[in-house]
Amino acid sequence: MTSLIPSVPMPSGTSTIGKTFTFEAGHRLPGLPPEHKCNRQHGHSYQVEVALTADALEAPGFVTDFGALAPFKEFLDTELDHRNLHEALPFEPTSELLAQFLAGWFIQTLEPHIPGRLVSVTVRETGRSWARFTMEEQ
C-alpha cells in the first residue's frame, strides 16, 4: 500500500504515555487539628494517573501496551475502592503519600514485567486538587 502522505524524518527523543484510573474512597486525616475539616471522615472520587516513558518503542510502536496496566487497576479496585483509606493504608492517607505509595507498588509489582519506566503518579482528590510523585532520574 502506498501512502499519500510524504515521508518525514522521525526525530530522536523519548516517548511518554499516561493512563488514568479511578476509585472511590473515604478517609480522614487524624494528624490534623480536630477543627480542620479534613480531620472529619469524608470521601473523594479519586483519579490516579500513571505516566511511563521509554527511549525506544516496543513493536508495534508502544511505550507499554495500555492493557498491560490492568494489574494496577485491579490493585486499586481490590485494595482501595470503597474503603476507608486511613484504615486500609499503613500511613496517613494524604494525596502526596498515596501517590508515593502507588509509585512504589507499581515499581515493585508491575514495572519488572512491562517495557517502559514509571515517570510519575498523580493523585487527584477533586478536579482542582492533585498531588504528583515524580521518580528521580535513573
- Catalytically active residues are 38, 82, 125
Identity of the residue numbered 70? A
Identity of the residue numbered 107? I
Give Cβ neighbours of residue 11 (< 8 Å, ≥ 6 apart): none
Residue with cell 509489582: 109
- Of residues 16, 18, 36, the one with CA closest to residue 28: 36
